[in-house]
Each structure stands twice: as structure tokens, then as C-alpha cells.
Structure 1
Amino acid sequence: MRILSSSDSEDGWTSIPSEPINVVVTGAAGQIAYSLLYQLAAGSVFGPNQPINLRLLDIPVMMTVLDGVIMELEDLALPLLREITPTTDPNVAFKNVAAAFLVGSMPRKEGMERKDLLAANAEIFKVQGKALDQHARKDVKVLVVGNPANTNAWICSHHAPSIPKENFTAMTRLDQNRAQAALAARLNVSVDKVKNVIIWGNHSSTQYPDAAHATVNVQGSTKPVPSVVNDDNWLNITFVEKIQKRGAAVISARKMSSAMSAAKAAGDHMRDWWIGTKPGEWVSMGVLSDGSYGIPRDIVFSFPVAIENGQYKIVQELQINDFARSKLSNTSKELEEERTEANNVLQNK
């Protein structure tokens, strides 16, 4: 553990009265974490008055790389960052944590089927779920970034029975950000003018990016996105496929998966969960289904949620047309299949 400073120093820290919270990032030497850690240390996620202690978990072979990352964190000279603890032990990493970013996972390799990826990750998230159960705060907020994120979150939650299931979420915020940016580009407005686009379902190519309930502010007036776009073919085909395939397009161009944008999305997800959403606005999060919109229970499914006082609620009573219903059915079926496969893997271990 490296202690960077303390709250009773004479360098202005006394203006930051909050006690530090413990935050864990897994896969801490990886590319996503590299972009995420600055956000955490700078106060972009938990707020400008919330000090943090970072717990950085990775596998033994990555610890030398992690040493370099820690040097950079120290060199940032950020007053909110109090302690840094690098470790290969989940029991150390998850001790008394208030927030967990589960970034590290087995990446999908060429020729690997999705079920192979599930098998490789099932044991990782089983171990981390047990460590959370035994050592984390019971109100810990867990964000799973490592893919297949939805089912990894489901596995993790099932091995942490003492922590509420609603405390485990999967990241579809990257897909939401992609969708918001694509709509803004189409409408020739800045991205902050587009609100309430939804990602339904799995963080996979079956996800359904839905602009039917989105709004756009044009010249000071808020209007429904579909009426401004005025092109159902673009919204239902071009837009949907663009977002579904965006991750693959990044890999094709960059020869590596999304990292900077994924880290930004992880920060966005946790910030809104921690601080809340604005009235009348919602964000997309993979959460345990309670049966809303006819989605099967006990799968981690991306819904629109509104957040207040650190608690999210699924936005209800949105109109779902037949086209959207078919998309929701398709992605929920995939998640049920993943859950079955994950169960089979875990039962055979």
C-alpha cells in the first residue's frame, strides 16, 4: 500500500472533509483501467469533495506493468487520491470497498465461441463474487465492464448472496453514448442536446438501441427524435446496426477493442449511480430483471433507469411497438441462453 498524503496536511486538504472511500478496479494494468483511473482520482466520478483509496487488482504477470501505472498515478499529484494498494489477491482488493469496477476478464480471441468466453470468465467472476460477499461493504455498487458483461454480472451476484442483487450492474453506457453521438451527428447538434436514448438488452450484437423515446433540443425547443429525423428506415435499420456493430468496427480499425470510450462510459455509469440523474432523464444500465416490459426475470438486462439517492428504478410505462418488442425478445433470449450455459459451466466445476 502506498499512502500519498493525509487529510490533516497543510496543503489545502482540510477543504475536503469527507472520509475516503475504497474503490477497486480489476484488470488495473489494462487499457480501459489506464483511462479510467484518472477519472476516479480526479473526482470526475464520485465528486470533487470525495477522497478515494484505490485498490488495484490484476494477475501476477501484470504487476510490473501495474507498478508503472502507480508511478503515473502518484505523478498526477491529485489531492483526492489518498492511498493506492496493488494486489493479486481478491480478498485484499475487495476489503471494505464502496464501489467496484470489474474491468478485468478473459478477452475473446479469434475463433473463440461465445460459450467458450463464458466458460473462461465464469470462474473469474465466481471468485470475485465470493470475495465481494466476504469482504465488501453490503451497500457496495458493482459495475461489471468485462465481457460478456451482463452474464458476468449475473454470475458475480449469485456468488455474493449477502449483497442485494440490485447492487450488481452491467455496463451498456458505452452503447448509449455511441447511440447518443450517432443521433447528434445525424441531427447536426451537440451530443448534450440529445436525451433519453435507450439501450435494451445485452451488451452484444443483439442489443436494441432505441431512439423512439429520445428527445432533441433544436433551437431552444425540445422535440421527439423520430419526428426530427423523419426517416424510420434510418432509425430502425441503419442506426440500430451501426450501434450494434460499433465495437467490431473499432476493433477492425484500431486492432484493439474500445478502451478510452469504454473507460469514459464506466465513469459515466458510476457517476450517475452515485450522484443521480436529472428529473425527467434516464440512462441505460444492465440490471437484474424484475419482469418489467415482459422481460424474463433473473437475467441482467439493460433497461432505462432513473436514479435518486443512489438507488435506480426502471422507467415504466414506455410504449413498446411490435418492432421493438421483437428486438427485446431476441436479446432476452440470448441472455437466457448465456445464463443456462453459465450455470452448466459452474455446476461442472
Structure 2
Amino acid sequence: MMLSNPLLQRLARWCPWVLRDEPKQPVKVLVTGAAGQIGYAIVAMIARGLMLGPDQPVILHMLDLPRAAEALDGVRMELIDAALPLLRGVLATSDEAEAFQGVSVAVLIGGWPRKEGMERKDLIAKNVSIYKSQASALQQHAAPNCKVVLVANPANTNALVLKEFGPSIPAKNITCLTRLDHNRALGQVAEKLNVHVGDVKNAIIWGNHSSTQFPDASHATARTDLGEKPVKQLVADEKWLKEEFVSTVQQRGAAVIKARKQSSSLSAASAACDHVRDWILGTPKGTWVSMGVYSDGSYGVPEGLFYSFPVTCEKGEWSIVQGLQIDDFARSKMEASANELEEEKSIAMNIL
């Protein structure tokens, strides 16, 4: 705050607590599927400042199906009981128009779950109607520059459906979550090198949030007692980097389901918070993260797909990291994932 009045300047010098900046206005954040496991985990994280910062008040809008209304109200009660200082209001509803009203951030977790025996094309078909309706609600009721992250699978193609049915929503405002895979990649490297995960950066998830994704550590670095070094140099095991590392990250979700008998929830919620936080507040200098964004043709990825790239973020905008060297092994993996996304796009467009 600029103080031109000499009296105010003296007052600020001797009594700084009198002239504190005005508190931030609350931001409305929507979570769909909020009565589910990921939703239940993420709402408290958001209300504790893990998504928008420790000084940003929030108003939570929670949406779920009418049959989940009682459970959703239980989540609302728990949020109130937690006495969270940043939480300035909670709305629990099954009405899309009410849920999307005025929101600046939308975390879309609710979707048709994949069931045993269901093919991916059937899953896409089930989700088209959901995201057609939510695209309409976004256009009509959300804040003009609302930032959207698709968590529900198939996340990349759900994002594409949302864009197709929401033509007035800027493509740059629609993203899908591959940060969970990115975090898994960092974790695997950290375990391999026996370093803290915070000392590893710049892994990449290329492509689809599916088993065709390509976890890439060839550009990653890690900080050790000897300074920051390339992960390739520190691991010194090309077979591990191209095989075990890749397959472990690709199959981590299935491994969690096998162990827990339920899908990843806590880690998915944490990753969604990371995704939005970095998008809005910015990535640290020299660090990139993985986000599913609308392709502009970078790295030969066909335009018009939601594809996971390495990105940096500043002032609420993401930019694809350019100029990275891609070897033949990486190129083949990236193309395989792009081909799968082209197939999913074709299925979705035929349904549309």
C-alpha cells in the first residue's frame, strides 16, 4: 500500500498493525463428485490453502448426484466442524447451475466410473453427456476466466468434449490432470537415488492419462551433496530408466487399487491441488511440471488434442516448454500415446 500522506507514513512506522492491507476477497472453487473419495479428500486441502495459498479465503461449491445428497451434506457438516479459518462458505448441491455460479476454479472429478468389462469407448460415451451438460453450465454461470481441471477419466478426452460443447471457453482455460503421474515419477526417482522428492525436478509425463503415457526422466535433475546433476547420470542405468521406471509409473494406479482395493484418492487430490496452485501462483524458476493442455503442434503432437506436456506457469498462464531434445525411443512412446488420443477423439466426435 502506497502512503503519500506524511501523517499516515508516521502512523505506519509506529503502528504498522493499524494499516494492514485489505484482506483478499474469497475465491469460489467448485468440486464436482465431492461426495466421492477424491472429493472428500480435496475439499479440506482446498480449505486449508493447499491449492490457492495460505492467505486466500475460499468459498467451496460442491456438486454431486441427487442420490449422493445425504453424503454430500455430511461432507458439508464436516467442513463446518473443522473450523477452517480460510473457509468462508460452503454450498452443497445437485443443481449444476447453482454449483457453477460465479466459480473461478472448477475441479471436475465427477464422471462415469469405468466398470469391469467396460471398454474405453463405452466409458467415453457415458461421459459425453456429463461434460456436454457441464460445458453449458460453465459457459452460462462460471466466472469469465474460470480455470478448469479435468480429473475424471478418460481425463484428456473429457477435456476435449468439454471444449467442443463450450466453444466460448478459451482452450487455454481447460486442462486435465497428469500431475499425479508427474508426482509419481518424481517419487520413483527419489526412491531410486535415496534423496528427498523435493530435490528432484523436471520429470515429464507425455501424452494420455492412460497406460500409454510416457514418463520421461531424461531431462530431470536431482540435487545431491555434490550439487544438481542429471538424473540419467546419477542413476547410470538406462535399462531402469526405459523399462522399470516407465512401467512402474504407468501401472501405479493399478498397483494402488490392488493394494487398497480402491483407486488413488489422497494422492489424486493432492496432485489436483498442486496442478491448480502452480497454474495460478506460478512454477518456481527453472522448474516445469506436467499438465494436459490443448496441443498447438509442439513436438509434433497433432493440434486439437489434450496432451500432457512439460509446462511452466506465470501469472495464471501456462506455456509449453520448448526446445527439449527428443530421441527415437521417446518419440516412439510419444507417438503411441498421441495415436491413442486420436482414436479416443474419433470415438468422441462420432458420439457428438
- TM-score, length-normalised on structure 1? 0.94
CA offsets 1:108-137 (integer angstroms, 9 cap, x no match): 111110001101111101110111011111
Distance 1:16 1:241, change over 3 A: farther
Task: Report the counterpart of residue 315 of structure 2 in structure 1.
Answer: 309
1:320 equivalent to 2:329? Answer no
- Residue 122 (structure 2) aligned to one of 111, 116, 127: 116
Equivalence for 1:299: 305
Which residue of 269, 272, 291 maps to 1:266? 272
Q: Which among 21, 27, 33 is matched to residue 27 of structure 1?
A: 33
- Are 2:150 and 1:157 equivalent residues in the alignment? no
Give the one of 95, 101, 107 matched to 1:89.
Answer: 95
For residues 100 and 223 of structure 2, the distance between their equivalents in structure 1, rounded to whole angstroms, comes to 43
Aligned letter for 1:267? C
Q: Is the 8 Å Cα contact of residues 256 and 264 (structure 2) preserved in structure 1?
A: yes
Distance 1:47 1:262 in 2: 18
Distance across 2 between alignment mates of 1:59 and 1:66: 9
Displacement of 1:21: 1.2
**Residue-by-residue CA offset, 1:182-203 (whole Å, 9 max, x unaligned):** 0000001010110000000000
User: How big is each residue's C-alpha offset from its partner over 1:224-271, in whole Å with a ceiling of 9 and x where there is no partner?
Assistant: 000110011000011001111111111111111100100000010011
Give secondary structure in 1 for the equivalent of 2:229. Answer: strand
Could you tell me which runs of 5 or more consecutive residues in structure 2 were left unpaired when the two chains were aligned: 1-19
Conserved in 2, the CA contact under 8 Å of 1:198 and 1:303? yes
Q: Give 1:15 deviation, angstroms.
A: 7.7
Q: Return the match for 2:210 from 173, 180, 204.
A: 204
CA distance in 2, matches of 1:328, 1:89: 40
Post-superposition Cα deviations, 1:257-294, rounded to whole Å, max 9, x if no partner, equal 10010000001001101100011100000000000000
Between the aligned residues of both structures, percent identity stands at 56
SS of the aligned residue for 2:29 comes to strand
| Partner of residue 71, structure 2 | 65
Match of 1:286 in 2: 292
- How many residues end up aligned between the 2 structures? 333
Choose the corresponding residue for 1:131, options 122, 137, 140: 137
Q: What per-residue deviation string (whole Å, max 9, x for no partner) do you get for residues 303-343 of structure 1?
A: 00000001010000000000000000000000011011011
Give ranges in structure 1 of 5+ residues lacking alignment.
1-13
Query: Radius of gyration: which is bigger?
Result: 2
Q: Contact 1:99 / 1:140 at 8 angstroms: preserved in 2?
A: yes
What is the SS of the residue equivalent to 2:60?
Answer: strand
Q: CA deviation at 1:60?
A: 0.3
**36, 40, 45: which one aligns with 1:39:** 45
The amino acid of 2:252's aligned partner reads: R
Separation in 1, partners of 2:48, 2:243 = 39
CA-atom RMSD in angstroms: 1.0
Pairwise CA distance, 1:57? 0.4
